[in-house]
Amino acid sequence: MAELPPSLYDSEDYYADTSAGSRLSPMFDGLLRVFDRVRARSVLRKTGLSGRSGKVLDVGAGDGKFLHFMREAGFVPRGTTTSRRSARAAKSLFALDLDVSETLDRQLTAGPFDLLTYWHVFEHLEDPPAHERLWPVLVKPSGFVVIEVPNVRSRGARLCYPAWLGSDEKHHVNHQTPERITNRLRGLGFEPVRVESFSGKFSYVYLWSSLLGALFGRRYDFDGIMSILKSPGASLRRRPLWSLNALAAVGYLAPAIVGLMLYGVVAGEGEVFRVYARRQSTNEPRS
């Protein structure tokens, strides 16, 4: 089998080349683990799935945190990644063997799955139809596809897209609207049963980034803001006043950020779009 060529997510230092394989500073790892634990529990509660003999496939599994917590809940975990660095981290941290592949072809023999997830991965896909056409085969009847993406119609995206951390134009090559995603799911026999627009992991920082750009202009763009999250110490040494202002803004912009978050959730214009879609049984009509 041909080896996957060098990945964009390794060559551009998307993931750190360490045992943790984190995209952000190690100081955030504990918080990210909490978010993924909450995410796993939330998925189980909202889908009603049980881990007893259940199987989950996480596409773009990163360092494997979500799969780790799903395994703790009793699920048999499978995951893919296009990054050898993240695959090494998942193995080191959680003894998970991820499939380093851009496709889902090798997952067909392991399925069908009770749950198929894309956590901020769908927007990275260069060929979404290659994934979509396999969903009805990979997911059991009454099983779920869960997709979470940056919401390109959010308040933050409209406020200052170049600074908004959901933009990431180097890697997010496939931004799609919520309507397109839900329509495609329905066309494949999956009924969206729940949609949400708030994320504890992303909503606050997305709005923080867009407000920095809106208030201070081109001095704050996506790459600059990400550099703070990747290495706050190095950023402070290189651009002290610029970095101090950005870090202080996490606090002094809090009233505006919280207000925009609440408005976004109520108006359906939150910073993320998350959909839980259940595969219809063969005897159920498609809507």
What CATH number does residue 144 fall under?
3.40.50.150
Nearest of 84, 78, 69 to residue 16 by alpha carbon: 84
Is 20 inside a domain boundary? yes
Question: Which residue type, as a one-letter code, is found at position 74?
Answer: G
252-260 contact pairs (CB < 8 A, 24+)? 253/208, 253/211, 253/212, 256/207, 256/211, 257/204, 257/207, 257/208, 257/211, 260/155, 260/156, 260/159, 260/207, 260/211
Range of the domain at 39: 8-154+161-200+268-279
* Chain segment 150-179, per-residue pLDDT in tens: 999 999 999 999 999 999 988 999 999 999
Total count of domains within the chain: 1
Identify whether 136 is preceded by a cis peptide bond (ω within 30 of 0).
no
Q: What is the pLDDT at residue 26?
A: 76
Is 176 inside a domain boundary? yes
Q: What is the pLDDT at residue 25?
A: 73
- C-alpha dist (Å) from residue 250 to 120, 193, 276, 285: 23, 34, 31, 48
Is 256 inside a domain boundary? no
* Mean pLDDT taken over the chain: 90
For residue 234, the Cα-to-chain-centroid distance in whole angstroms is 26
Neighbours of 202 (CB within 10 A): 20
* Chain segment 97-124, per-residue pLDDT in tens: 999 999 999 999 998 999 999 999 999 9
* Chain segment 215-260, per-residue pLDDT in tens: 998 899 999 999 999 999 999 999 999 999 999 999 999 999 999 9
Is 54 inside a domain boundary? yes
For residue 67, the Cα-to-chain-centroid distance in whole angstroms is 13
Is 209 inside a domain boundary? no
Q: Is the pLDDT of residue 278 over 90?
A: yes
CA-to-CA distance for 218 and 212, rounded, in angstroms?
9
Is 226 inside a domain boundary? no
Is 237 inside a domain boundary? no
Is 31 inside a domain boundary? yes
Q: What is the pLDDT at residue 187?
A: 96
- C-alpha dist (Å) from residue 279 to 30, 188, 191, 206: 34, 9, 6, 31
